[in-house]
Structure 1
Amino acid sequence: MTSEWAVVTGAGHGIGAVIARLAAKEGYRVAAWDIDEQAARAVADEIGAGCVAARVDVTDEAAVAEAMAALPDAPALVVNNAGVVRFGPLLELSAADFRLAVDVNLTGTFLVARAAAARMAAAGGGAIVNIASINGIAAAPNAGAYTSSKAAVIKLTEQMALEWSGAGVRVNAVAPGLIHAGMSDAIYADPEVRALRQGRVPLGRLGTAEDVAEAVLFLASPKAAYVTGQTLAVDGGITRSALHRMPRPADVDSVGVDPAGDPAGPDGGR
C-alpha cells in the first residue's frame, strides 16, 4: 500500500464511489468525502484498510480547510466529483437553484482544489482532476444551470493548470457523456428513453462509472505526466457526432472526384 493519498469528493454515491474504489485498487490511500457522511463511511468500510471517510460540504471553506489539514500528508491526487443538477427550462429556473448549482459544482471545485494545491505545492506537486460534463462542452435543452457551471469548471481547470504548473501541480478535467450511473439513473429508468439516447452514441452504448474512473486514474498517473489543462471527453464520441447517421444520397458520393477519375484530384491530394 502506497502512502500517497487520493481525495475524492462526492465519494458516497455513483461515479464518486467507483472512482474511490479504483483509486484504492491502484494503491492510493483514499479520503472519501461526501456531504452524506453515512454514504461515505459505507464506501470506506467496503474499501477497508487505507480508506477514511469524512463529512465535507465542499461549499464550506472552513470545512474544506479542516478536512484537508486533517490528512497526515499532502494528497497526491484530488478528484473534484461532488456535484448537483437542477434541470429545467431557464425561464422557470429559480435563482436559488441556479446559485446552488454554481456553488457546489464550481465554487466547491475551486475551494477543494485551492486547498489541495497549497499542500501539493509544498510537497513538490500532485494531480487534480475535476469532473466536468459534456454539458459544459455543448449546451442541451432544459439543462438549467448545470451547463453553465460545468463550462465554468472547464475554464477553471485551464486557469488552475496555468497558475499551478510551476509548483508541479497538474490539473485536468474529465467530461462524462451519457453515463448510466449516479445522478443519471433516473433518466435511464425509462427503457424507451434509454434506447433513444443510447442510439445517438457513435460507440453504440451508454458509458459506465468505470469508464469515467479509468479516465480519471489515467490523468493522475505517470502516463499523463505531460498532460495539464486538458478536458478529456469520455462520451463515446457524442460531442463530435453532429453528422452521425446523417443520411446522404448515394449519387453524391462521387462529388469531388477529379474529371480524370483520380479521387485525389489533379494535385494528387496535396
Structure 2
Amino acid sequence: MTLAVVTGAGSGIGAVIARHAGKAGYRVACWDLDADAAAATAAGIGDAATARRVDVTSENDVVAGFEALDGPPSLVVNNAGLVRFGPLATLSIADWKAVLDVNLTGTFVVAREGANRMGAEGGAVVNISSINGIAAAPNGGAYTATKAAVIRLSEQMALEWAGSGVRVNCVAPGLINAGMSDAIYADPEIRRLRQGQVPLGELGTAEQVADAVMFLASPGAAYITGQTIAVDGGITVAALARMARPKSVDSVGADGPDPTQEVS
C-alpha cells in the first residue's frame, strides 16, 4: 500500500481528503494541530491510518512527522490553513504573520520534506489554494495573498522537482459548504445569495474537492504538473455573466451587430 500524508486532516475538507485517500488504497498519515481531531479521522479510516499532532509552522515538527512514517510518502496533501479576515488597513502584523506562516511557509516546508523523501518512482504533491488566490476578495486579510502565493509556489515546485518524478499541482476550492465556511453558510439568506452567484447553481462539497485531489494523485494525471484546478462551479470565470448587456449584441448574422465593431 502506498502512503499519503494529509495536513489539516482533523476536520472539514482535510478529513474528507484523508478518507478518500484511505478508500483509494493509501495508508494515510493524518496530521493536524488538534491531535484528538486527527485521531478521530484516522479511527474512521481504519487500521491503515495513523494520527499525529503536527504544527506545520514548525520545521522540527514536520521533519519529526516524516521521520516517524514507516516508509516514503507517495502523496502529500497540503490542506492545513488559517484565516484572519479583516480589512488590510487595520490588519495586525501578528495576524498577517500567523496566516503567512501556516498557509505559505507551512505548505513549503511540508512539500519540501515530503518530496525529498519520495522514492525513486517519485510521487504527487497537491497543495490546497483557494479561489481567493485567483481573484481578490474584500477583507481577506493575508489569506488572499497567501493563497495566490501557494499557486505560484506550486508552479515553481513543479519545475524544480519534475526531474525527480515529483508532480506538484494545486486545487483551488470555491464556495464550498464545509470547513472554514461553516460560519458563513449558517445564515440561510447569505447561503442563498452566494449560491445564486455560482453558474452551476449550487455550493460545492468537500467530497468534490477531495475527488479533484485524488484525480491529481492518480495515474490518470501522470502527465499533469504545475496546474491549478478551480473546483468552483464556474464562479471564477463568471465576472461578466451578470453585467448589463443589450440583447441587440447577443445575436449574429444579417440581423446582428456589425462584426467589425468590437463589443465588450
TM-score category, normalised to shorter length: over 0.9
Structure 1 segment 114-193 matched on structure 2, within 5 A = 114-120=112-118, 122-193=119-190
Tell me by how many angstroms 1:79 deviates: 0.3
- Decide whether aligned partners of structure 1 residues 225 and 264 sit closer, same or farther in structure 2, where only a CA change above 3 A counts: farther
Q: Secondary structure at the match of 1:115?
A: helix
- Distance in structure 2 (CA, Å) of the matches to 1:227 and 1:12: 28
Letter in 2 for 1:25: K
Q: Secondary structure at the match of 2:168?
A: strand
Q: How many residue pairs align between the two structures? A: 260
Q: Secondary structure at the match of 2:195?
A: helix
The answer to whether 1:236 aligns with 2:233 is yes
Worse-superposed segment, 69-78 or 211-220:
69-78
Match of 1:101 in 2: 99
Q: TM-score, normalised by structure 2?
A: 0.95
- The answer as to whether partners of 1:74 and 1:123 remain within 8 angstroms in 2 is no
Deviations, residues 162-209 of structure 1 (Å, cap 9, x unaligned): 000000000000000000100110011111111110000000000000
- Distance in structure 1 (CA, Å) of the matches to 2:231 and 2:188: 23
Letter in 1 for 2:43: D
Structure 1 segment 1-270 matched on structure 2, within 5 A = 3-120=1-118, 122-254=119-251, 257-258=253-254
Q: Secondary structure at the match of 2:163?
A: helix
Letter in 2 for 1:226: Y
- Distance in structure 1 (CA, Å) of the matches to 2:64 and 2:258: 64
- Distance in structure 2 (CA, Å) of the matches to 1:108 and 1:199: 34
Tell me by how many angstroms 1:265 deviates: 6.7
Tell me by how many angstroms 1:247 deviates: 3.7
Letter in 1 for 2:213: V
Q: CA RMSD in A?
A: 1.6
Q: Secondary structure at the match of 1:6?
A: strand
- The answer as to whether partners of 2:16 and 2:206 remain within 8 angstroms in 1 is yes
- The answer as to whether partners of 2:249 and 2:257 remain within 8 angstroms in 1 is no
- Decide whether aligned partners of structure 1 residues 65 and 83 sit closer, same or farther in structure 2, where only a CA change above 3 A counts: same
Please list every run of 5 or more consecutive structure 2 residues that lacks an aligned counterpart in the other structure. none
Deviations, residues 25-52 of structure 1 (Å, cap 9, x unaligned): 1110000000100000011111111000
Q: Secondary structure at the match of 1:202?
A: coil
- The answer as to whether partners of 1:12 and 1:39 remain within 8 angstroms in 2 is yes
- Distance in structure 2 (CA, Å) of the matches to 1:190 and 1:98: 27
- Distance in structure 1 (CA, Å) of the matches to 2:23 and 2:250: 50
Tell me by how many angstroms 1:145 deviates: 0.3
- Distance in structure 1 (CA, Å) of the matches to 2:120 and 2:52: 23
Q: Secondary structure at the match of 1:135?
A: helix
> What is the aligned-residue identity percentage?
68
Tell me which stretches of 4 or more aligned residues in structure 1 moved more than 2 Å.
245-254, 261-266
Q: Secondary structure at the match of 2:126?
A: strand
Q: TM-score, normalised by structure 1?
A: 0.93
